[in-house]
Amino acid sequence: MMNVNGFLAVARRLPRGKSTLSCHAWDLGRQALRVQQRRTIRTHSRSLAYAKDLFLGQINKAEVFPYPEIGNEELEEIKQFVAPVEKFFSEEVDSAKIDKEAKIPAETLNGLKELGLFGIMIPEEYGGLGLSNTMYARLNEIIVLDGSIAVTLAAHQAIGLKGILIAGNEAQKKKYLPKLASGEHVAAFCLTEPGSGSDAASIQTRATLSEDGKHYLINGSKIWISNGGFADIMTVFARTQVEVDGVKKDKITAFIVEKAFGGITSGPPEDKLGIRGSYTCEVSFDNVPVPVENVIGEVGGGFKVAMNILNSGRFSMGSSCAGMIKKLMELTSEYAATRKQFNRSLSEFGMIQEKFALMAINAFVMESMAYLTAGMMDRPGVPDCSLEAAMVKVFSSEGGWICCSEALQVLGGLGYTKNYPFERYVRDSRILPIFEGTNEILRMYVALTGMQYAGKVLTGKIREMKKGNIFLAVNMAGKKLRTSLGASVDLGLTGKDGVVHRSLEESAKQLEQNVSLFGSTVESLLYRYGKSIVDEQLVLKRVADILINLYAMTAVLSRASRSISIGLRNHDHEVLLANTFCNDVFFKNNYLMVQLQKHAPENNDANIKKIAKAVLENRSYICSHPLERTY
């Protein structure tokens, strides 16, 4: 929520005459207070476990139904705040120039600062706007229209200063957040090193405590650092020596490092495929003195800080990619409707129509997942939505990349030229499956976290049965028998106490069937592999893909149910999108679970490993050329 002073701060930052926001700041501020009071009354803190419960074949419908919504006053607040940002990006941002010159102009950065976009989620008491996760997601739909700006802002606040925000002490927040909120100072996140990419725990940068115990000396090098060339404040992760039970060990610690401390050198910007205007470079640290007061959290607790930072920001990629796809649909639909071939508009051809359906479905699913997750995160307390956020990131980054490619394909050769923005969107979107945790790592995280959760629950049940809990044993045996016989599944989404609208009933039943079978499949995998499941990456990939699909199905059913129930404009189209998506992934999930069965002929994992081994051992493609002969 934005409070009264937050509105006034926005009003002051906007140029006069360019927005209606300043005229209504006082009234909207009073409304914001009323909205905040109502939200506090109607929500309560929960221990979220929706995604994890899916591993048990359960749907915790109270966590995701009804779909999160905001009041009329807050909706008006969002509209008033979004308007000047949209105006700025449409009139003041020259994305083609930024891409060509590989630099964001100073006047553009200053405009972003005046809009308050460097302090979106910093609380008002530290000079920021104090917006909710939902509002942050909404703004990202606009900001993403320029990939370089989106990355620059995300590197600053989604990860760069986030450590101070979520784990810093009060003194650190008061000292650093105000200038970071205004954009006077820019932040960067320094974790990745030449020898440690996804394996963050293997970093080698070291922080050595001085003899007087007043500061640390940091030495090492970080790579791929966004904003690294001009950041004033950096969250740096380094190895420190700590004592655990009388034994000295190396543990990672997080530090707030000012460029003004000295000893910091930034390399030239990387010449990248896309997001060319963002400043990505190597940053070196040579005996950089950092006061002990600048440790974030506890000494030795830096790895947890790093993971919490990364986990908290991924959800917004859903709204970002949806915003990008919606823009591409506007551009390509105009071309498809006016371009004629064979005396027909391109829009009349089935394969072109398929591309637009694909883009519409993806945008709808991404939006649904992103705002469901944002609504969860906006509840009071600190709910753990790391699994949900990771799933949003994986689905949206891969869908965004595909949709950018399909949009370019609609224009054919024209889309391949720099006269149109499509090739830039394709280049910019290629980074999405790589940064903020590669999708391969996130799939492992999603699958293993859920499997571990299910394993603990199942172990507890086995202990209970060994103690003589006959009821539990009979219940588990009955569940297995019903599943093997293909009995109908009722997890409470439909019927008397159902939460899904009747127009989506068939899709809800498909979700229930998938979830029930998924629970049984997970149980079988745990019995089959035990702890060695951590080494079965191809198995875990399928598990993660199923879970992502289940969460996506949940999000669209919840959203469409709300839309049709309250009579939203074009709610029938939402129902169509939801049913189409659910029907598609229902069969995909079934096939994936068939592949996970023991000795399934549909499973080619053994052959895939043999092919990869032959190629990697020889460092090349090993087949003879088709023109060779032996006679």
Three-state secondary structure call for residue 253: strand
Neighbour-count burial of 382, counting CB atoms closer than 10 A to its CB (0-12 exposed, 13-18 middle, 19+ buried): exposed
Q: What is the DSSP string of 180-247?
A: HHHTSS-EEEE--BTTBSS-GGG---EEEE-TTSSEEEEEEEEEEEETTTT-SEEEEEEEEEEEETTE
How far apart CA 462 and CA 525 sit, in angstroms, is 16
**Which two tokens mark 552?**
């996506």
Instruction: Quote the distance between the C-alpha of residue 426 and its chain's center.
Output: 19
* Residue pointed to by tokens 């609609």: 410
d(CA 423, CA 408): 7
Longest Cα–Cα distance of the chain, Å, equals 90
Tokens of 360: 């519409």
CA 380 to chain centre: 21
Q: Judge whether 436 counts as a catalytic residue.
A: yes
Checking DSSP bridges between strand 206-209 and strand 187-190, what pairing results, if any? unpaired
Q: In this structure, what token pair is assigned to residue 262?
A: 């000295």
Q: How far is CA 205 from CA 33, 199, 224, 437, 519, in A?
A: 46, 14, 15, 20, 43
Residue 515 in 3-state DSSP? Answer: helix
Q: Is 514 left (phi over 0), alpha (psi -120 to 50) or beta?
A: alpha
Count of Cβ atoms closer than 10 Å to residue 341 Cβ: 11
Backbone CA torsion sign across 191, 196, 199, 201: negative
- The Cα 356–Cα 332 span in angstroms is 9
Q: Is 431 helix (H, G, I), strand (E, B) or coil?
A: coil
Q: d(Cα 566, Cα 46) in Å, to the nearest integer?
A: 26
Neighbour-count burial of 582, counting CB atoms closer than 10 A to its CB (0-12 exposed, 13-18 middle, 19+ buried): buried
> CB-side exposure of 470: number of CA atoms within 13 Å?
0
Please report where in the chains the tokens 């639909």 appear, as a residue: 333
Q: Which one of 114, 436, 512, 574 is the catalytic residue?
A: 436
d(CA 43, CA 46): 9
> How far apart (Å, rounded) are the C-alpha atoms in residues 137 and 122?
15
First to last CA, the chain: 78
Helical residues (DSSP H) of 467-536, grouped into ranges: 470-484, 505-529
Sequence-separated (6 or more) residues with CB below 8 Å from residue 408: 415, 416, 422, 423, 425, 426
DSSP state of 602: T
Ordered DSSP codes for 117-131:
TTSSSS-GGGTS---
Task: Report the distance separating Cα 607 and Cα 604, nearest Å.
Answer: 5
Residue 344, H or E segment: strand 344-345
Residues belonging to the active site: 436
